[in-house]
Structure 1
Amino acid sequence: MSFAYPFVLLLLVVPLALLVWTWKRSDGRVALPFDHGRPNAARGWAFLIGLAESLPALVLAAVIVILAGPQQLSAPRSRRALTNIEFCVDVSGSMTAPFGEGSRYDASMKAIDEFLDIRKGDAFGLTFFGNNVLHWTPLTSDASAIRCAPPFMKPENVPPWMGGTMIGQALMACKNVLVERPEGDRMIILVTDGDSFDLSNGNDETIAQDLKRNNIAVFEIHISEGDPPAEIINITSITGGEVFPVGDPGSLESVFKRIDSMQATRLEKTAPEVLDDFRPVCLAGLSLLGLTGLTLFGLRYNPW
């Protein structure tokens, strides 16, 4: 046990002095007349009365200990390590292609919605891209804004300047969002169905190394019947991610579960906290105070 104000414990000399005085004093004796009799020493009663008169000093000691602020360290706890996940979703015209019961875009956003439930406790951000980039939702643990986004950013509804596909530009924009969060792991989940000219001529290597330096892993969901571009495969492998070709809606859910297993939630120990520990001292003080009250009913020296 430690104390917030240890210097207050110096006051314990006061109840200690009272205890010494209680047991060493001799003014508790009472002179009684006896006719040639030998008085009883009554040592048992003297001891009990001494204990009773010691109780107030012990109560005072308990009060001083409470004023000193007794403390203890809490047990170390485990907490979920935060992962910052930025969804980077393609809204170019090709994402309107039929895919299951809806379009590629619809299936992607539905799978993202289910992934939010799997990774509760993480921080999520949502970025849409075409020829330009639009950060729709900042990194937050409140996923409601992401769930409300699909109707507003359907590819058929986006303005003309969002047409086309510039994956390199989108990845760098997502990187700028993630590096602002110093705490937690960093991940980009790229959802697209096309290729991008801004990854050619070695730009993929440059972007991948930049992402790696900032500890950002890139996972790509290639929602198309064709093969993923080699440049994207290169980026994901360098950053520690992976490419998942998806040819049917049923595969999307399993892909997100696979990503979840690859970037499993980590538990980290937190430092013990200093907590107030008044309970044992308060219980002892209240018990002593109760005994003191009971002794006042008769366990004391006669006043004559």
Structure 2
Amino acid sequence: MFEFSWPWLFLLIPLPLSLLLLKPIASNSNTRLRIPGFAKHALNNPNSAPQSRRLSIFEWLLWLLLVSAAANPTWLDEPILLPNEGRDIMLAVDLSGSMTEQDMAYNGQYVDRLTMVKAVLSDFIEQRTGDRLGLILFGDTAFLQTPLTRDLKTVTKMLNEAQIGLVGRATAIGDALGLSVKRFASKEDSNRIVVLLTDGQNTAGNLDPDDALLLAREEGIKVYTIGVGSDNPRGFSLFNMGGSGGSNLDERLLKNIADDTGGLYFRAKDVAGLKQIYAELDKLEPISADEKTFRPQSSLFYYPLLIAIFLISINVMLNTLRTLKEPS
């Protein structure tokens, strides 16, 4: 469907005629009007006063094109039905220094923990059709990278752009959980879910994990925790020779957070372990919402604007050539 965003602007079409009617008043005060580039109206010639009250077809066409562009013509595509069922899921991903440990087997080789998490979570995000996802990154503190959205491509892009040290190299689990709870505060109609992924223990932040857990429990937010780290001694870290084998992982805290909020704890020693959460989240009953539609819009204002600019350019060029041919 075709429409104008501001059709009331077409009320300005008679404006040039109104200005011309006021021209005699300006003439009496010795005001001279010159319009460069257009067909010559000898407005400063008293003998041509009657002709100055008319606009050429070209000038009317030009004015109509400019008004049409200002009214913003828009093409509306067919309505797209948005999913009316889904979950609200906030992903909290650890970017502490220990995530550089290369102790995770992936595609036949050992990679660092963050690389494996990005690969598996990217696949997880793509399967969340109908869900709204958000992304929180945490290290010394936590910050919101992506608010809740159905734009899964943006969430995946932001996750893949995350780098170790972006928010420090410590682990603020309490801050990450607390920020997740805060982002869910206005989502009463949602089965709010937090997926908190870390490979360490709380070593930084302004909020104690127990206090953050209390907030999550009071808000009815279900937290799924994932402990990342292999028991394979072949691990390698940029900070320590040899892998930690997940020895710094505070499993007691992660299990406590999951149990107290009705979620589950997973130990991701490899790709298969991390993928377990797929099936568990799919078992959750999605929240139904009112059916909504979305109509993609394409603004077309530049078409009449470009035509007007083209006509002005041609007119100026013709008048310039005519002037050059006239005898001096």
Matched with 1:128 is: 137
Q: Which amino acid aligns with 1:216?
A: I
Residue in structure 2 matching 1:208, options 207, 213, 223: 213
Distance in 2 separating the partners of 1:88 and 1:243: 14
Tell me: CA distance 1:138–1:224, structure 2 relative to 1, closer, same or farther (3 Å): same
Question: Quick check: 1:92 aligned with 2:96?
Answer: yes
The answer (yes or no) to whether the contact 1:193–1:222 under 8 Å persists in 2 is yes
Which of structures 1 and 2 has the bigger CA Rg? Answer: 1
Q: 1:166 aligns with which of 169, 172, 183?
A: 172
AA at the equivalent of 2:137: F
- Please identify, of 136-145 and 93-102, the stretch whose mean Cα deviation from structure 2 is larger: 93-102
Among 271, 290, 301, the alignment partner of 1:249 is: 271
Whether 1:105 and 2:114 are equivalent positions in the alignment is yes
Which contiguous aligned blocks of 4+ residues in structure 1 show a shift greater than 4 angstroms? none
The Cα of 1:254 is off from its aligned counterpart by 2.6
Distance 1:191 1:231, change over 3 A: same
Structure 2 letter corresponding to 1:213: E
Q: Is 1:260 paired with 2:320?
A: no
Alignment of 1:136-215 (within 5 A): 136-155=145-164, 158-159=165-166, 161-197=167-203, 203-215=208-220
- Find the counterpart in structure 2 of residue 116 from structure 1: 125
- 2:222 counterpart residue number: 217
For residues 182 and 95 of structure 1, do their structure 2 counterparts lie closer, same or farther at Cα, with a shift above 3 Å needed? same
1:234-273 deviation line (CA, Å, top 9, x unaligned): 1111111111011112322233323332x243557x69xx
| 1:219 partner SS | strand
**C-alpha deviation, 1:153, in angstroms:** 1.2
Using a 3 Å threshold, how does the CA distance of structure 1 residues 197 and 132 change in structure 2: closer, same or farther? closer
Q: Is the 8 A contact 1:82 1:183 kept in 2?
A: no
Which runs of 5 or more structure 2 residues have no equivalent in the other structure? Answer: 1-82, 231-245, 292-328
Counterparts of 2:209 and 2:163 in 1: how far apart (Å)?
A: 28
Query: Which segment is superposed worse, 85-94 or 96-105?
Result: 96-105
Gap change, CA 1:144 and 1:208, over 3 Å in 2: same
SS of structure 2 residue aligned to 1:149? helix
Which deviations, in whole Å up to 9, do the C-alpha atoms of 1:79-124 show, x marking residues without a partner? 7443210000000111111222432112112222222233211110
SS in 1 for 2:162: coil
Cα root mean square deviation, aligned: 2.5
Q: Are the counterparts in 1 of residues 89 and 194 from structure 2 also a CA contact under 8 Å? A: yes
Task: Give distance in 2, aligned partners of 1:264 and 1:244.
Answer: 20
Q: Secondary structure at the match of 2:195?
A: strand
Label 1:186 to 1:143 Cα distance change in 2 as closer, same or farther (>3 A): same
> How far, CA to CA, are the matches of 1:110 and 1:221 in structure 2?
15
In structure 1, distance between residues paired with 2:222 and 2:189? 15
TM-score calculated relative to the size of structure 2: 0.52
Separation (CA, whole Å) in 2 of partners of 1:109 and 1:116 = 10
Q: Distance in 2 between matches of 1:138 and 1:105?
A: 21
CA distance in 2, matches of 1:176, 1:236: 18
State the TM-score, normalizing by the size of structure 1. 0.55
Change (3 A) 1:173 1:85: same
3-state secondary structure, aligned to 2:226? strand
Looking at structure 1, the residues matched to 157 and 199 of structure 2 have their Cα atoms a distance apart, in angstroms, of 23
Tell me, yes or no, if the aligned pair for 1:91 and 1:154 is still in contact at 8 Å.
yes
Distance in 2 of aligned mates of 1:242 and 1:131 = 25
Give the residue type in structure 1 aligned to 2:131: D
Task: Note if contact 1:244-1:255 (Cα within 8 Å) is conserved in structure 2.
Answer: yes
Query: What runs of 5+ residues in structure 1 fail to find an aligned partner?
Result: 1-78, 272-304
**1:114 alignment partner AA:** D
CA drift of 1:127 comes to 0.6
Distance 2:204 2:265 in 1: 18
When structure 1 is superposed on structure 2, of 112-121 and 165-174 the one drifting more is 112-121
How many residues are paired up?
186
Given that 1:131 and 1:162 are in contact with CA atoms closer than 8 Å, whether structure 2 keeps it comes out as yes
Q: Which whole-Å deviations, capped at 9, do the CAs of 1:117-150 have from their partners, x for residues lacking one?
A: 3321111000100012121111001111111124
User: Tell me, what secondary structure is at the counterpart of 2:161?
Assistant: coil
Measured after TM superposition, the shift of residue 198 of structure 1 is 6.0
8 Å Cα contact 1:81-1:184 kept in structure 2: no
Check 1:150–1:211 CA distance in 2 against 1; reply closer, same or farther (3 A cut): closer
